[in-house]
Structure 1
Amino acid sequence: MMKIAIVGAEDSVNKTYNILKNTNYNVTFFLKKEDQIKNTTKWIMQEEENFDGFFLTGIGIYHSLLKCEQASFNKPIAFLKRGAMSLIKTFWELKKTMSLKNLKIGFDIVEEQTFINICNEFSIKLENYYHQEYIFCKTENAYLKNYVDMYKNKKINCVLTSFGYIYKELKKLNIPVFRIQATNIEIEEEFKDLIYRIKLKRAEKNKIGVVILKINKNYMTTNILEERIFIEKMLIQYSKDIKGSVQSISADEYLLISNTELIKNDESLQSLFDIIDLCAKKHILVDIGIGEGSTVFNAEKNARKSLSFCKKEMENSIFISSDNEIKGPLFKKKELSLKIDNNLKQISENCKLNLSIIQTLNALQEKEMDYFFTSYELAKYLNITERSINRILKILIENNYVEEKKDTSKIGAGRPRRIFKFNF
């Protein structure tokens, strides 16, 4: 018997439960109804041990957990996405009370291109539209204020929202609002995925691995559909090789799940390198972040940590991250193993420097088995200018973590080079 908590806005939780309560899975459900996202995160963290998994009714709750430093789950989590089917159903509801002509719509969460495609497909004539894309740090009240201001200024005449809290507040203000709800099919498919993750968690002794491939939007050509088909074809084959699953998270992001050992073996890593190499030949810039953890949630969190390091490389790259180490860029001369420990965190806090800088400097010493470096060598590894590394070195010297020396081994005239000795 599995025990699963359905968490989210009241209307979404009720709908989800009514669809799933008669499924053939051996599951007991607990319903946690809360309209505001900020109130759900703490509850989930407190109740983790009481459930086998959590089924979240929206992306907002999931991402609020992802960005929470204290959140490190050992239980599987899945969330409902809003896509084309959800939006079509919302337009169907809108049609019952409003004309589909001269609409000025404000909407959120659903991708802008999906919205445009549906309007074109069903000949929905828009006078104007305003899209609030999902942003990690943006609060529900910020979304709400934007909608209210736009309505007062007559820039929109109705709202399509995925947020239960915003839906209720706009209703109180008598602003025409329609709820973007996941469809029955979408709910059932995501629930199957959660069941799969719970079974994987129970069956696997090894850690779970997540691979995230992210396309750099700034380097996407006009043939976006062609590029996606090209990438998806390779990822489908790769997912078969690692006996995993692949899903499209957004227009520029794919997520794959499997066993860590299958993802980390040499043949699998080489396959990923071949994928980014083929993308580079087509001038498509992609980053691949690999994460491992005891759950899909933890593995994804580590994979996104890997992606944050990829961004600094400015070229196709792969990083892999666990709870205590980040390694990459894989297959390149600059490859380093960055430790995650309290000593390095303390140095970062004392010097008010980014932790990744301290980790990279520490990893460089271990790789080269040396404590002496020039500013040029350090700047090259950190992908920054010598001027920037000199500012960093100045701070480290002031805090007694680095000593400046003169390179007396240089032969010939001229000033001796400045070299730096690390004390950590």
Structure 2
Amino acid sequence: MIRIGVIVAHNSLQDVLPVKEKLTERCELTFFTYKKLSEIKPIYLENYLFFDAIVMNGLAHLVLQNANVHYQIPTHFYMANERDFYKKLFHISRKYPNLDFSKVTFDFSGYTDLIKLEELYAKDEEAHMIHLDITDHFYEELLERHIELNHSGKVELSITAFSNILDKLSEQGVQAELITASSETILEIFEKVIIEVRHKQLTESIMVIGKLTSDAFIPKEENTHAELNQSLLQTALLEYSKKNHLTMIIQKQSVHFEIITSQKELLFITNNFAKDTLIDTLSGNLSFSLHLGWGVAQNIDDARKKAHNANHEAQQQDISSLIITEDGQFICLDTTEKVFLQKMEDTPELQRLSEKLDISMLFIQKILAVIEKTNTNELSSADIAQHLGITIRSSNRILNELESKGVAELIYKKHEKLRGRPKKFYKINFHKNNS
């Protein structure tokens, strides 16, 4: 069950308790009350690690902001919104039918920007607003200011957002009304928190496997440093994980490495599927090339299969990093422009074509994407290089492969200038020999 810690003023606990009854079957609430503002920061720092989320009142949030506390888990705050404010204002206007707003003071202007108090006053009237710094003597100073305004005759009614001073105002003969977040408003915040925590838990529960391979790991006569290369990679992986505070299980296999992590970590590593910072870091620190395939799934076996397929495709296409998502979509991170490719299960025709021609389906999809983008199937190596973000050399290799399969046909050579080598154009038709 979701565990939520609640930080609330001692006198305001009763405002939040009704919410607990409505959420009994969905989350477990633990309450932490404070009487002094200096108690808020220690309460948060000493307890947040034991909860999935923290909810607090608006003042507690303001205190932590002023203390430069950075929230490490989902953390939300509640306060009176416009609906609560105007509903209470209507109640006040009924209770005090002859109320003169020029003799009313408010003490929460610094804690919400939602309410336009100037609308309550005539153009030549000035609102009595209480502005105070957030210190440990906040409540005492606030109480003193309300009493001072009332006893001076400037104010006849105090409207406060802080229940801690309400009884003391009454003891001093000050007419006061409390405006706080309604149960409905507080419940809406808890609903939002529960949804966020569930989404976070779902994201973190999705398994991710990474498969890292390199020719430099395979023992050969000409490669006498296979073990050293594997050791260098393992060190680099551990350093990357430690530097970025990631949870990664790194397992050395016979001629490859397996990384076990979560989708949350993968989103960080790839900057939300835009750029693989892990492969970039490894390539920058190691002298040999690598191929990394990521597999995303609900269980480790499916994630491992996807990682294997992604790594195989990455090797075939000579790209450094490839992801197969939970829904089977390929994401190639090697191109200058992020390319999303269709799911394998959604493209049975392409799958048959891939098997017929003995060409990778990812390979076919990438070329079809270029044809669609350029609106022509007559392409040069420069066209393919530009749109796939690869070198001319890699592009020529692709075209030569397609030509050898009978898919690409050299149709003409074009001289851009009178001098220099002619530019080759190929006509590409994947269905030419697919009859």
What's the TM-score, normalizing by structure 2?
0.41
Higher relative contact order (CA 8 A, sep 6+): 1
TM-score, structure 1 length as denominator? Answer: 0.42
